[in-house]
Amino acid sequence: MNDLEITGLTHSYGRDARALDGVGFAVPRGSIVGLLGPNGSGKSTLIKNVFDLLRPQAGTITIDGSPHAAPDAKRKAVYLSSNDYLPEFLTAAEYAAMIARFYGLEVDREEALELFSRFGMDGRYDDLVEDYSHGMRKKTQLMVALMVRRRLTVIDETLNGVDLEALHLAEKELAGLRDEGLSVLLCTHDFPVLERLADEVVFLDRGRVVYNAPTADLVAEHGSLERMVYGYLESGER
């Protein structure tokens, strides 16, 4: 069973070359899959397709077995954006409630406060987002995703630049999601995080899947994910 399954996904903007050209891969239930790609790899286009922000031009996407644009599929996935995009006019508590309501859930205030405390944001849960630093906004995105615990969590470079301790804690929390049988698509070019956490890695370039294999196999073959990626980028293969 796959929590996310993508087959033959193709997308072009105008007359330009294809942003996605027949991409297919899966996030199996209870796994963490890393997604890697340079600028122009098609990663953003892919994520926009998964969250129905762009309409697939060819190919299929299913979330937990349902077509991705169906209302119940939408309620099974949560997206953490690549920046600190949060409504500044809300408090974290109001934001969490808004997101939870979208999923038909209620926030447990005690749990939320405990999570905020563990992520070094004691006493800030009822403050307006506009008074948060960039790092705090990113951590808030993550904590709200941890509160709603969806079948599929997609993390798009969200944790760049958060503090050392939050990053360490985040890794444990993501592993915890997997331990509960939930899945994560982790888009990051923090190679060692991927080497520690990801069961499989997908490497995209110019709209195609270049590598898609268990992390251990890719590391065994290339020495490290980093060597794999930079070796590829500097090679003539591209």
Give whichever of 21 and 163 is closer to a copy of itself, judged by the CB atom.
163
Give whichever of 114 and 126 is closer to a copy of itself, judged by the CB atom.
126
Q: Per CB under 8 A, does 148 bind a copy of itself?
A: no
Strand 77-80 and strand 152-156: the pairing is parallel
Q: Per CB under 8 A, does 1 bind a copy of itself?
A: no
Give whichever of 65 and 131 is closer to a copy of itself, judged by the CB atom.
131
Cα-Cα-Cα-Cα dihedral of 57, 157, 3, 9, to 10°?
Answer: 20
Which whole-number Å values give the CA distances from 52 to 14, 20, 153, 186, in the listed order? 19, 15, 15, 18
Helices (H), 103-224: 109-118, 134-148, 164-179, 191-197, 215-222
Q: Which amino acid is at 144?
A: V
Pull the structure tokens for residue 131: 């008074």
Q: Per CB under 8 A, does 88 bind a copy of itself?
A: yes
Q: How far apart are CA 201 and CA 203, in angstroms?
A: 6
Which residue in 167, 212, 213, 222 binds a copy of itself (CB under 8 A)?
Answer: 167
Task: Please tell me whether residue 187 adopts helix, strand or coil conformation.
Answer: strand
Tell me the window of 22-30, 60-68, 82-90, 179-187 that interacts with a copy of itself (CB under 8 A).
82-90
Report in angstroms how near the CB of residue 201 gets to a copy of itself at its nearest. Answer: 14
Which residue in 65, 67, 181, 192 binds a copy of itself (CB under 8 A)?
Answer: 192
Q: How far apart are CA 186 and CA 197, in angstroms?
A: 9
Pull the structure tokens for residue 133: 């630093």
Q: Per CB under 8 A, does 131 bind a copy of itself?
A: yes
Binding site for a copy of itself (CB under 8 A): 13, 36-39, 44, 48, 53-54, 81-83, 85, 87-90, 94, 97-98, 120, 126, 128, 130-134, 156-157, 160-161, 163-165, 167-168, 189-192, 224, 226, 229-230, 233
